[in-house]
Structure 1
């Protein structure tokens, strides 16, 4: 490894070491048990889903973490997000596919412990056959844009 490469690697190691504190809005640590989560309705998603905010403001440029509780037989039509989205399945199974239209035959079942990472503006969709809970985190602002504007529940 030459000196330039070594310097780049050393710089990356320093940045990664401090990454958790960069941009963090939390002044203290957070510990939350499942019983302490406060579930609310989500107007930007089809009726029936619930959200529990854990960290951050979804409309701000800052780290966020939240959970979604998806009921059985639930669908989120094809949509995308403006920033990267990290999804971890906490319980149950979600079925996720990529594309412009929800197609159950072209999805991957993601069971508890599975992870999906969507790059910004990647069209994807989700459906369930059982209740599932997922945890989503990233850097905001979080948002959702439906591929077909008629699918947006905020417009109904």
Structure 2
């Protein structure tokens, strides 16, 4: 059984120590691999990328996930989607600012990721969907 962990820096493994971002080995894919190490038929792959958002996950799902022919995909994304273009905010702090990936497109992207995985008869799991924008709840219907 192959499990692909697919997401942003939370998947890749990052921590903020003494004012600097640090890559850490104690990430959730590594913890999952340790939990399953007594099961030789389970392989866990970390396909997390720093600063990724749902637009970028959609663009790399074929190369990083589908090409691995996994049985399960853990999808974790959202924190970078609700980030802002901070240079624009600094220039006009009182203005209206859209997140990098607006909530409607975020929901479309996550739905598309799940559908692509399901279409290949792979089981998707959504992890840590932080609230973006107006804190809407994502509902994906089972087929």
Higher share in helix: 2
TM interval, shorter chain, is under 0.3
| Structure with max Cα Rg | 1
> Counting strand residues as a fraction of each chain, which structure ranks higher?
1
TM-score (norm 2): 0.26
